Chain A
Amino acid sequence: MEDYLDQNFSEGLRRLAREGSSDEVPKAAEVWSRSQFRLRYHSHKRRHRHASTVSMAMAASYLLLFLLWNLGPESLKIGIFLSIAVGVISAFLLTWMIRRTVRG
């Protein structure tokens, strides 16, 4: 009796699976194009996050070098050149990032 019920049930489920029409399943092209769009969006977001981290690091380095230049001994005067260079690069990166954000 138990085997009969099991068999009946499994046969019923298999028939249920066969009954489903292929039209109900989303088309491969749809799933592919949606996935590609989302993948591109995700990689854009990842790059964006990376750019912001780099900018923050540059800004922090600029601050550190500026403090070294002001508080450190005479030999650290070279810090002025480094701090200006880092400042210019971080300003450029921040401007670029803001422009992308505004455009996006």
Chain B
Amino acid sequence: MDESTFNALYADTAKPLWNYVARVSGRNDIADDVLQEAFFRFLRSSRTGLSKVEARLYLFRIATNLLNDIWRRGEDIGGCESKEAVMESRFDIALDAGWVLQQLKPRARELLWLAYVEGMSHSEIAKATGLNRMSVRILLLRARRQARAYLEPKGETDGRLP
């Protein structure tokens, strides 16, 4: 792959990929490292001739695997800022969604981001995460339910959190 082809692919995929890692991990420094490593592994692989759509899915797959490796190593990533602290100063829907995302398990965060922000179908999410389609459907359903429980006004969930 030459530099101009790389630049075109980077322009299309780097920001969504960086956003995905930054929001799912809750840390920008991890997003920088994972982005660099994902593109390096992509260039090292023999798949540089993939179409743009396939290359994008492949890059998300690499980034997801790298994130899962970080969690498997037990590195403490993802914020646990209390909702009260967040809500004190800001009543913003985006920040609220960001807070809810951080309360969920890593796998749920990945799936919700890919589905809602990247607009991926179940089969695309399956390719990007290495799960099978049926698991994606079930896990996504569960993740949605968990996120909803955090968003429901107090009292409607009897004070229970997922």
Q: How far is the CB of A94 from chain B (nearest CB, A)?
A: 30
A9 & B151 in contact (Cβ 8 Å cutoff): yes
CB-CB nearest in chain B for A22: B15
A31 & B10 in contact (Cβ 8 Å cutoff): yes
CB contacts under 8 Å to A, within B83-126, are 93-98, 100-101, 112-113, 116-117
* Interface size counted on chain B using CB atoms at 8 A: 38
B23 & A16 in contact (Cβ 8 Å cutoff): yes
**Cα–Cα distance between A60 and B119 once the two chains are bound (Å):** 59
**Cα–Cα distance between A39 and B57 once the two chains are bound (Å):** 22
Size band of the A side of the interface?
20 to 34
CB-CB nearest in chain A for B156: A1
Known: A16-B23, A32-B3. A8 touches B151 (CB 8 A): yes
Q: How far is the CB of B56 from chain A (nearest CB, A)?
A: 15
Per-position binary interface string of chain A over residues 9-39, scored 1 when its CB falls under 8 Å from any chain B CB and 0 otherwise: 1111111110110101110100110110011
CB contacts under 8 Å to B, within A31-53, are 31-32, 34-35, 38-39, 42
B116 & A13 in contact (Cβ 8 Å cutoff): yes
Known: A13-B116, A17-B23, A39-B44. A25 touches B14 (CB 8 A): yes
